[in-house]
Structure 1
Amino acid sequence: MKNTIKVMFFAVALMFSAFTMAQSTVTGTVMDADLNSPLPSASVVEKGTSNGTTTDFDGNFTLTTQSNSGVIEISYVGYGKVSLPFSGNTNLGNVSIASENALEEIVIVGTGVIDLAEGRQTPIAVSTIRAKEIQEKIGSGDITTSLVNTPSVYVAGQSGGFGDSRIAVRGFEQDNTAFLLNGQPINGMEDGKMYWSNWSGMNDVANGIQIQRGLGSSKLAISSVGGTVNFVTKTTDKREGGFVKTTVGNNNYLKTTASYSTGLMENGFGVTALLTHWQGDGYNMGTFGEGQTYFLSFGYKPNETHNFNFLVTGAPQWHDQNFSKSISTYLEKGRKYNDNYGYLGNQYLTERRNFYHKPVANLNWDYTINDNMNLSTVLYASWGRGGGTGGRGNKTRTADGLINYNAIHASNNAIANGEGGYFAAGGGYVTRASMNLHSWYGLVTNLEVDLSENLTLNTGLDLRTYQGTHFRQVENFHGLTSWQENIRLVDQNNDHQTYGSFGTYKNVVVTEGYAANPWTATFNTVSEDQRIAWDYGETINYGGLFAQLEYANDNLSVFFQGAASNQSHQRTDRYQYADNELISQVEADTNADFVNPDTGESITDGTEAEKVSNFGYNVKAGAGYIINENNNVYVNAGYYSRQPYHDNIYLNFTNQVNPLTENEKIFGLEAGYGYSSPTFSANLNLYRTSWKDRVTTSSDTDGSDNLIFITNEGVEQLHSGVELDFTAKVMDKLRLKGFASMGNWEYVGNSRTTTRDEENNVLSFEEEDVDGGKVGDAAQFTAGLGFVYQVAERFSVDADYRYNDNLYADVGAIKENLELPSFDLMDLGLSYKMLLGESDNRSMSMRLNVNNVFDSVYISELSSANQVEAGDESFNGINVNNRGYFGLGRTWNFSVRYNF
C-alpha cells in the first residue's frame, strides 16, 4: 500500500513538473487599428482553453499559458478577432485589432495633438464612430447624422437643404461645442458657429469621429460647454490600392468617388488621393445642390524618429435653401413646400443659394525624441470664399407664392437706362450675395514627457491668426445695367449719428457682379468700389498655453489639466465710416471743415475700431479607478472662464465697443461607471454643467438722438442628466447596441435687461422670472436601440431605432416654453460584400439604406412658442401659427463600392 501511494505521489509530482515546464508567459499591447490607440479591457485567451485575461488602461496584457506553444486569440466587442502563434516566453509587441467598422489601414500622425480619449487614461463620457459606419450610413446626409445614435445628441435643420443641419450636445448649441479636425480648431472665430455645408467632404475622408461629451480630454486652451467632437481624417494608406464608389438616392441624388494610394513605399514616401462629385434635387422643393470633394495626402517616414504628413482637402459646393414657415403653410401647401424660388419663363431661379469653398491644409510632424519624449506638431491653414444670396429691392410673387421673376424682369426693363437702386428713385430688384471671406493660420504643438513609469506630462501651444472680410455684392442684375446705393456715414468720434448737415455724401454705383458659384468665388473678388450694403472685416489673434499632468498605475489614474489664452480683436469698417480721403473730398466739395456738429471737434478717420483683448483660462481634474478587470469608475471636474465671441464685443456690427461684455463662466461636474467583458460593455455617465455671466448688448438712440445701450445680462443655464450606452455580442452573428439619455436643461433665476446711457448710468431696469424655463432646440430625453445581424457570410442587416421626447421650441429664456410632440424613427440597412480575389484587397461592396422607414410625420424644430388659445387651429396640440420645420420623411440611398 505504501509503495502504491509513493508511486501516485511521484506521478503527480512528475506531471506537475512537466506542466510547470510547459508554461510560458506571453505579453503584448492591443491597439485600435483605426485610431492607433490602446484598447483597454480587450479579451486575450489561450486558444482551446478557458485560460485568459484582459488588457489594462494602456492596452497591455500578460498571460501565463498552460502550454509552451500554441495560439493566442485577441478579441473586443465590435471588433474582429486576431489569432497569433506563440512559442515559449513571447512578447507579441503592438497587436493592431481592426474594428468591424474599419476602413483601410492608415498611417496616423499628429497623435499628440489629436485629442482622442485614449490619449489620457482617466475615463470620460465618449462615443466613437468608425469609418465604415460613417461611409455606410450617412448616404446623402451631413456628417452630423453619424452622431444621432449617441447619447445627448440632437440634430436639427436638415429640412433647410444640403449641409444646413445643426447639432446640439447635452442641450448646448454647436457654437458651444468645440469641433476639431486632426487637432485643428474649426469653429468660426467670430461667433463659434459651424456651417456643415463647408464640411460636406468629411463624409468621404473621415477615418473616425469621436464625440467627447462634457469636459472631454482636449488639452487645448478651448472652453467648450457641451463637449468636443474630433474628426480624424485619412492620411496616407499603408498599403497600395484604392476604390471606386457610386451612390444613388431619393430626389435624383448621385455621388461618385474615386481614391487611390501608392501605399507607404520602401523609400518612406506615400501618396493618397480622393476625388468626389455629388448632385441632387434635395428633399424639399427648390433645394437643389451640387459639389465636389478633393483630398490629397503626402506621407514621408524617413526613419523611426520622424513621421511627416501633408494633406490638403476641400469641398466646394452650392445648395439652394429652404427657410422655416408656419405649420399652417405646410398643411396647406405640403410639407415639402418652399417659396424661395421661381421661374423666368421655363428657367428655374432661386433667391436663396449658399455657395462656399473652404480649402484646408495641414502639415503634421511627429518626432520621437527618445523613449520618454515625443513631440507632435500641426501647422494648418484654411481659406474660406463664398456666401449666401437673397433679394434686394422690390419683389413680387405669383399667386401660389413663388417669386415672380417674369414680373421682376418686366419691371426692371421699364426703369430708365436700366439704372436701378436701393432707396433711390430708380427702384428695381437684384439678387445680392452676402460674402464671407477669411484666411486662417494656426499652429498646435504638444510635447509629451514620461517623467517616470507612472507620471506623464503634456505641454504645448495653440496659436491662431484670423482675418475675415464681409461685404455684399450684386449676384444677378435681372436686366438692370447698374445698381445704386446711397450711404450716410458715421465716424469714430460719433458712431451712431449721421452727419445730416452734409447730406448724403457717399453714392455707390455698381455694374459688376459674380455668379453664386464656389469656384468663381475662390478666384474672383469684386473690388471695394463694387460692394453694397456693408464692407467690413476683423483681425483676431489667439495664443494659448496648455499643460496636463497624469499619474497612472495598474488601477488608478489621476490627472490635472490647465490652459490659459489671450485673444485680441480689431474691427475695420470700410463702408459706413468716413476715412481721411473721403473727409478731404467732402471738405473740398463743401468748402467747410468736416467737424462734429455737436462738439465742433474735427472728424478723423473712423474706419478702424478700438483694439480689444481678453484673457481666459480653464482648469480640469479627474480620477479613474479600475475596480477589477470588468469594472471601473471615474469622476471629473472643470471650470472655464471663456472670452466673449467677436460679434458680442462690437455693437450691432459697428465699430462701437461693447463696454459691458465679460468672460462667461462654466463649471462642470461628471462621474461615470464602466463595465466591460468580451461579450458586453456598458457606460453610465452623470453630469451637471452650469453656464453663467453671458452678456449680450445692443445699442440704439433715444428720442433725443442720445446713444443708449440695452444689455441682457443673461440668465444661468443649468444642464444635468444621466447617459447610458452599451454594446452586446448576443451570439456570433448578432450584435446589439443601445443608448439612453435623460436631461433636465433649465434656465435659472431671472432674466435682467438694463438700459444705460453713454456714461453707463442706469436709465431703466426690467427683471423677468424665467426660473425653471426649459432650454429648447434639443430633445432632453433620447433613447435608441440598434442591431447588426450577419445573415450569411459577408451579408448583414442592421437597424437603428431612436425615440425623442421633451423637445422644446428654440425661443431663448422664457418661463413657459412650448413642448413639441415626441416622435420616433427607424432606419434600416443591408450590406453585402463579394470577394473578387483571395483576400479583401479586391472586393465589391453593396449597401442599401432606408431612413425613417415608416415615414413618420413629426415636427423637428420650432422658432416660436405660441400656445393654443380658444379658437386657435392646432396640429398635434401645436398652434399652427408657429414657425419651424417638419422632419424629413422616408429617404433612401444605395451604393456600390469596388476595392482594388
Structure 2
Amino acid sequence: MKTTTNWLLSGLLLLLVSTVFGQGTITGTIVDAQLKSGIPGVNVMVNGSSTGTSTDIDGKFTIESKVAKGQLVFTYVGFEKATVNFTVESGKTVNVGTINLTEDASQLEEVIIVGRGIIDLASDRKTPIAVTTIKSAEIVEKVGSSDITQTMVNSPSIYVAGQSGGFGDSRILVRGFGQDNTAFLLNGQPINGMEDGLMYWSNWSGMSDIANGIQIQRGLGSSKLAISSVGGTVNFITKATDMRESGFVSTGVGNDSFLKTTAAYSTGMNKNGFGMSVMLTHWQGDGYNEGTAGKGQNYFISFGYKPSENHNLNFLITGAPQDHDQNFTKQIGDYKKYGRKYNNNWGLLNGSFVTERNNFYHKPVANLNWDWKINDNTDLSTVVYASWGRGGGTGNYGARSIRTAEGRIDFDAIYDRNVAVGDGVQGDNKSYLIRSSMNNHNWYGLVTNLEKQLTENLSWNAGFDLRTYYGTHFRQVSNFLGLNNWTESRTLRNADNAFVGSPVFNTVTESPSVSPYNATFNTIGEDQRIDYDNSERITYGGVFTQLEYSTDLFSAFFQGAVSNQAHQRFDRYDYLSEAEDSEKVSNVGYNVKAGGSLRVNEQNAFYVNTGYYSRQPYHDNIYLNYSNQLNPLTENEKILGLEAGYSFTSKFFTANVNAYRTSWKDRVVSSSRVTVADETYGDIVVLQGNEIFRTNEGVEQLHMGLELDFVAKLLSTLDLRGFVSSGNWEYQGEARTTLRDQDRNVLSVTDVDVDGGKVGDAAQFTAGLGFKYTIATRVSVDADWRFYDQLNSNVGAVKENLELPDYHITDLGFSYKMLVGKTKSNSVNFRINVNNLFDKLYLSELRTNIKADDNIPAVGTNPSVGTYQDNDRTFLGVADANQGFLGLGRTWNASIRYNF
C-alpha cells in the first residue's frame, strides 16, 4: 500500500512539474497552399486551452505553450482548418516549420463557389493579363465614407474623377477610357447601363459591404462574354451564403457628420444543405462640399442550398436605396470668390435648406446561381438575374434662378415671384419649378458557361448571354414652389418626324415626393408628365467560346463571341399616337481574342495578347436628338488591341510590366458644361446655369502606354508596393461635333479637325508608392502616395486641349485587431483612415479648355480687356473662367468592427 502511494505521489509530482515547468515557445509559418505566400491574420490556438495568437504579415507566428505535448489549430476564413502536433521542452523553442492552408470551397468570405464558370477571374485562365486584385479585407479598410471606386486608386492606369459631385457621383477611367467603355460585372452579370453604357455608383453604394473582392482587368481581360471591354473589365464578386455560422457588427464615423452602421449574420449550412446570410446597413452624412448631404440603406439577403456534392445553388437579392444632394462643376473663379467647398445648387426657403439637384434611386438586383459538376471533366455554371431601377434626379425648370449676394439660390424670392404668377406657363420667363427626371427600368438576363477539360492540357468553354431591357424616361414636377399648376405645349410629330397640326396643351398639378422608396412603389400618371415621356426596349443575345492549351511552361488561347442587339424607341409625348413606335434597329457585333504565354522558369514569364472588336453603338447614339429619327452616321465601332507583358516572381519581390496599344475607330465621345451666361444659338436661347451637351461622332482614338506594378517584402514587418503608368492617348483625323441643350434641342453641328488632340478626363501619367508596417502583432500602419500628371480637360474630341497642373496625394491608415472570446476565435477590428493627409489643393477635372493666355471676352462696351493671365484671372495657373471640380481636401473616417 505504501509503495502504491509513493508511485501515485511521484506521478502527481511529475505531472505538476511538466505542467508548470514544461512551458516552451513554438514558432512556424502559415502559407497559402496554392500561392505559396504567407497569410497574415491566421488564428493560432493551442488545442484545449485559451492560449492563442495570430500570424504577422508574412504568415509567421510565435506562441507560448503551457504543456509539453499538444496540438496547434490554425483557422482562417476561406481556408480549411489545419492542425499540427508539437512537443516542446521547458524553456526551449521549437519550430514546426511551414504549414500549408488549403482553400475551403465551403466558405465564402474569401473564396467564391457560386458561378465559378460565370465569374471571369484572371486565375481561371492560364494565359496572363494585366490585372489588379483587391480582396475584401482591403476594401473594408480603405473605402471608409468614399465610393467603392476609392479602393481602385492604387492601381496603374486608373483615374477616379467626380468625387466632389457628392456621394456616389464618382467616375472611374481605365487606360483613359470612360465607364461606358469599360465592362463592369457583378458575379458575372453585366451592370453597365444598357442605353449608354454608363455606371452610376450611387446605385451601388452597398458594394463595399457585400464585395468579397474586386478584380480590375486592364485592356483585353479574360472575360468570355460577348462584351467589348475596351478599357478593361472590372469584376465585383459578392459574398454568398456562408457555410458556417458567423457574423459581424460594425460602426463608423467620419468628417462632416458621416455615420455608418452595419450588421450581418449567417446561419451556416445545416445538415440538409440549407443556409442563409443577411446584412443590413444604414449610412448618412453631410458631404465634404456644402449642400451635398446624403443618406441610404444597403441590404443583402442570400439563400444557399447544396442538394448534393455535384450541385450548388445560391439566390441573393441586394439593393441600396439612397438619395443625395449634388454638386456640379462650376467656374474656378467661383471657388476663389466663395470658398473651396462652394456649391451653387442650393439655397434657403423660409430658413430651410432646399436644393435644385438631388439624386434619388433604388435598384434591387436579384440573381440565382447554379453550379453543376457534371463529371470530373465537365462543369456547367448558370446565372439568371433581374434588376428593377426606380428613381431619378432633380433640376431647375422654367425661368432662371434668382441668386443672393453669397451665390446661393434665393428660393424666397423665387417663391414670391411664383405666388404672384399663380398658374405657371412654359416660356413665360417668370414661372420656376423643380422637376425630377425619372429613369425607370426592368432588366432580365441569363448567362451560362460550359467548361470541359478535353485533355490534360486542353480546355474548352462555351456559353451564351441573353438580356432584355425596358426603360422609361419622363419628367415630373417635384416642387411647384408656390405655383398652383404648370401648363406647357408642344407640336406633335408624324411618322416622318415632321411637325403637324396645332399645339397640344398639357396642365399638371401633382408633385410626388423625392424619395427612393416613393419612386420604387409609385409611378405618376402619363397625363402628369412634362417635357418628355418615352421608353425603349433593348434585347441582346450573344454566344461565346474559348479554347486554351496549357502546360507548365507554355499556354495559348483563342476566344470568340458574336452578338445581336435590337433596339426600338417609343415616344408618347412628342408623337402622334399612330407614330409613337420607332423603326426597329438590329446590329450584329463580334470580337475575337488570342494570346499566349511562356514561363521561362519559376521566376520569369512573358505573355502577348491581341483582340479585335466590332461593337454595336449604344441606344442613345442610334436615334437622333432623342427622337425616333435614325442617326445615319451610326455604325459599329472598331477596336484593335495589342498588349504584351512580363512578370517576375520571387519570395521577396514580385513585379509586372505591361505594354498596350488600343486603336478605336468610329466611336462617339460626349461631354457637357454649364452655361455661365445666357447663350444664343439661332432662335434658341440657353439660359445661364443650364447644361450644354457636346457629342463627337466618327471619332478615332489611339491609346498607347506602359505599366509597372510591384510588391516587395523588405522586412518581415514591412511591405512595399508601387506602380507607374505612362500613356499617350490622342484623337486622330476629323470628327462631327453636335451641341444640344438640356431639353435635347440641337444647337449646332460642325465638322472639326481633332488630329493629335489629347484625350481628357484621366491622367496619362500616374505613379504611386505605398507601405504597410506591422508595429506589433495585429497592429499596423499603412500609407499610400500617388502622383498624377498630363491630365487634360474633359471636352470631348478637340485638337487643342488644356493640361491641368500635376498634383500628388498622400493617404494614411492605422489598424488594430484584438482577439476576444474564450477561444480567441472572435475579433474586434479598429481602423482609422486619413485621406489627402496634407490637405493638398488641386484641380481634379475640368470640362472646358480656356487657356490662361486667351483674351477675356468683351465685357459691356469694352472690346478687349486682355488675357486672363494679364488680369490676374488665374487659379493654380489655370484661367478662372474654366469649369471644373476642386479635389476633396483632407477627410477622415474611423470604424470598429466585431467579428464572431
TM range (shorter): 0.7 to 0.9
2:127 aligned with 1:122, yes or no? yes
**Per the alignment, do residues 489 and 754 of structure 1 end up closer, same or farther by CA in structure 2, a change over 3 Å counting?**
closer
Deviation string 1:608-657 (CA, Å, 9 cap, x unpaired) is: 00000000000000101111111111100000000000000000000001
Letter in 2 for 1:547: T
Name the residue aligned to 1:743. Answer: 727
- For 1:821 and 1:622, the matched residues in 2 are separated by 39
Letter in 1 for 2:502: G
Which of these residues, 645, 658, 662, is aligned with residue 631 of structure 2?
A: 658
CA drift of 1:39 comes to: 4.2
Are 1:685 and 1:724, in contact at CA under 8 Å, matched by a contact in 2?
yes
**Per the alignment, do residues 703 and 171 of structure 1 end up closer, same or farther by CA in structure 2, a change over 3 Å counting?**
closer
Which of these residues, 251, 254, 257, is aligned with residue 256 of structure 2?
A: 251
Which of these residues, 586, 608, 633, is aligned with residue 581 of structure 2?
A: 608
**Superposition pairs of residues 274-313 of structure 1, within 5 angstroms:** 274-313=279-318
- For 2:535 and 2:751, the matched residues in 1 are separated by 36
Are 1:223 and 1:640, in contact at CA under 8 Å, matched by a contact in 2?
yes
Are 1:326 and 1:880, in contact at CA under 8 Å, matched by a contact in 2?
yes
2:423 aligned with 1:422, yes or no? no
CA drift of 1:498 comes to: 2.2
Name the residue aligned to 2:178. Answer: 173
Name the residue aligned to 2:860. Answer: none
Are 1:131 and 1:208, in contact at CA under 8 Å, matched by a contact in 2?
yes
- For 1:118 and 1:330, the matched residues in 2 are separated by 47
SS of 2:307's partner is coil
2:407 aligned with 1:408, yes or no? no
2:455 aligned with 1:452, yes or no? yes
**Per the alignment, do residues 85 and 630 of structure 1 end up closer, same or farther by CA in structure 2, a change over 3 Å counting?**
farther
SS of 1:374's partner is strand
Name the residue aligned to 2:607. Answer: 634
CA drift of 1:347 comes to: 1.1
Per mean C-alpha deviation after superposition, the further-off stretch among 796-805 and 390-399 is 390-399
Name the residue aligned to 1:486. Answer: 489
Are 1:43 and 1:74, in contact at CA under 8 Å, matched by a contact in 2?
no
2:887 aligned with 1:887, yes or no? yes
CA drift of 1:41 comes to: 6.3
Provide the TM-score with structure 1 as the length reference.
0.83
- For 1:105 and 1:187, the matched residues in 2 are separated by 25
Which of these residues, 676, 681, 684, is aligned with residue 657 of structure 2?
A: 684
**Per the alignment, do residues 704 and 300 of structure 1 end up closer, same or farther by CA in structure 2, a change over 3 Å counting?**
closer
**Superposition pairs of residues 468-617 of structure 1, within 5 angstroms:** 468-493=471-496, 495=497, 497-499=498-500, 502-504=501-503, 506-579=504-577, 605-617=578-590
SS of 2:625's partner is helix
SS of 1:342's partner is strand
Letter in 2 for 1:740: V
**Per the alignment, do residues 821 and 624 of structure 1 end up closer, same or farther by CA in structure 2, a change over 3 Å counting?**
same
- For 1:365 and 1:843, the matched residues in 2 are separated by 33
Are 2:669 and 2:796, in contact at CA under 8 Å, matched by a contact in 1?
no
Q: CA RMSD in A?
A: 3.1
Letter in 1 for 2:847: S
Name the residue aligned to 1:833. Answer: 817
- For 2:132 and 2:277, the matched residues in 1 are separated by 28
- For 2:425 and 2:776, the matched residues in 1 are separated by 68
**Per the alignment, do residues 41 and 675 of structure 1 end up closer, same or farther by CA in structure 2, a change over 3 Å counting?**
farther
CA drift of 1:424 comes to: 5.3
Deviation string 1:45-74 (CA, Å, 9 cap, x unpaired) is: xxxxxxxxxxxxxxxxxxxxxxxxxx9999
2:315 aligned with 1:317, yes or no? no
In structure 2, stretches of 5+ residues that fail to align are 1-29, 40-70, 87-97, 672-680, 685-693, 740-747, 854-866
Provide the TM-score with structure 2 as the length reference.
0.83
Deviation string 1:372-425 (CA, Å, 9 cap, x unpaired) is: 10000000000000000011123322222211111222222223xx42222259
Letter in 2 for 1:855: D
Letter in 2 for 1:623: G
CA drift of 1:892 comes to: 0.1
Name the residue aligned to 1:852. Answer: 836
- For 1:754 and 1:269, the matched residues in 2 are separated by 57
2:823 aligned with 1:824, yes or no? no
Name the residue aligned to 2:20. Answer: none
- For 1:578 and 1:336, the matched residues in 2 are separated by 47
- For 2:331 and 2:670, the matched residues in 1 are separated by 29
Are 1:103 and 1:132, in contact at CA under 8 Å, matched by a contact in 2?
no
Are 1:658 and 1:697, in contact at CA under 8 Å, matched by a contact in 2?
no
- For 2:444 and 2:362, the matched residues in 1 are separated by 16
**Superposition pairs of residues 183-332 of structure 1, within 5 angstroms:** 183-332=188-337
Per mean C-alpha deviation after superposition, the further-off stretch among 831-840 and 253-262 is 831-840
Deviation string 1:150-179 (CA, Å, 9 cap, x unpaired) is: 000000000000000011000001100000
CA drift of 1:574 comes to: 0.3
**Per the alignment, do residues 327 and 556 of structure 1 end up closer, same or farther by CA in structure 2, a change over 3 Å counting?**
same
**Per the alignment, do residues 819 and 429 of structure 1 end up closer, same or farther by CA in structure 2, a change over 3 Å counting?**
same
Name the residue aligned to 1:625. Answer: 598
CA drift of 1:82 comes to: 9.4
CA drift of 1:671 comes to: 0.6
**Per the alignment, do residues 825 and 609 of structure 1 end up closer, same or farther by CA in structure 2, a change over 3 Å counting?**
same
Per mean C-alpha deviation after superposition, the further-off stretch among 723-732 and 121-130 is 723-732
- For 1:351 and 1:748, the matched residues in 2 are separated by 39
Are 1:852 and 1:891, in contact at CA under 8 Å, matched by a contact in 2?
yes
Name the residue aligned to 1:595. Answer: none
Aligned residues: 786
Name the residue aligned to 2:899. Answer: 899
Deviation string 1:813-847 (CA, Å, 9 cap, x unpaired) is: 22221111110000000001111125564221110
- For 1:704 and 1:288, the matched residues in 2 are separated by 39
- For 1:711 and 1:784, the matched residues in 2 are separated by 34
SS of 2:409's partner is coil
Are 1:745 and 1:780, in contact at CA under 8 Å, matched by a contact in 2?
yes
**Per the alignment, do residues 606 and 441 of structure 1 end up closer, same or farther by CA in structure 2, a change over 3 Å counting?**
same
Letter in 2 for 1:264: M
**Per the alignment, do residues 419 and 894 of structure 1 end up closer, same or farther by CA in structure 2, a change over 3 Å counting?**
same
CA drift of 1:85 comes to: 5.7
CA drift of 1:729 comes to: 1.5
Per mean C-alpha deviation after superposition, the further-off stretch among 353-362 and 260-269 is 260-269
- For 1:685 and 1:74, the matched residues in 2 are separated by 38
CA drift of 1:238 comes to: 2.1
Question: Quick one: percent identity of the two aligned structures?
Answer: 62
**Per the alignment, do residues 240 and 703 of structure 1 end up closer, same or farther by CA in structure 2, a change over 3 Å counting?**
closer
- For 2:638 and 2:599, the matched residues in 1 are separated by 32
CA drift of 1:477 comes to: 1.6
Are 1:392 and 1:422, in contact at CA under 8 Å, matched by a contact in 2?
no
Deviation string 1:457-493 (CA, Å, 9 cap, x unpaired) is: 0000100000000000011122323211112111112
**Per the alignment, do residues 442 and 448 of structure 1 end up closer, same or farther by CA in structure 2, a change over 3 Å counting?**
same
Letter in 2 for 1:283: Y
CA drift of 1:876 comes to: 2.4
Are 2:34 and 2:102, in contact at CA under 8 Å, matched by a contact in 1?
no
CA drift of 1:96 comes to: 2.6
Are 1:106 and 1:235, in contact at CA under 8 Å, matched by a contact in 2?
no
Are 1:136 and 1:847, in contact at CA under 8 Å, matched by a contact in 2?
yes
Name the residue aligned to 2:826. Answer: 842
CA drift of 1:751 comes to: 3.5
- For 1:393 and 1:683, the matched residues in 2 are separated by 55
Which of these residues, 349, 356, 363, is aligned with residue 358 of structure 1?
A: 363
Letter in 1 for 2:494: D
CA drift of 1:370 comes to: 0.4
CA drift of 1:224 comes to: 1.4
Deviation string 1:78-120 (CA, Å, 9 cap, x unpaired) is: x999977699xxxx9995359xxx9945552001000010111
- For 2:101 and 2:597, the matched residues in 1 are separated by 25
Name the residue aligned to 1:439. Answer: 442
Deviation string 1:658-687 (CA, Å, 9 cap, x unpaired) is: 122110000000011111122221111111
SS of 1:480's partner is coil
Letter in 1 for 2:899: N
CA drift of 1:302 comes to: 1.3
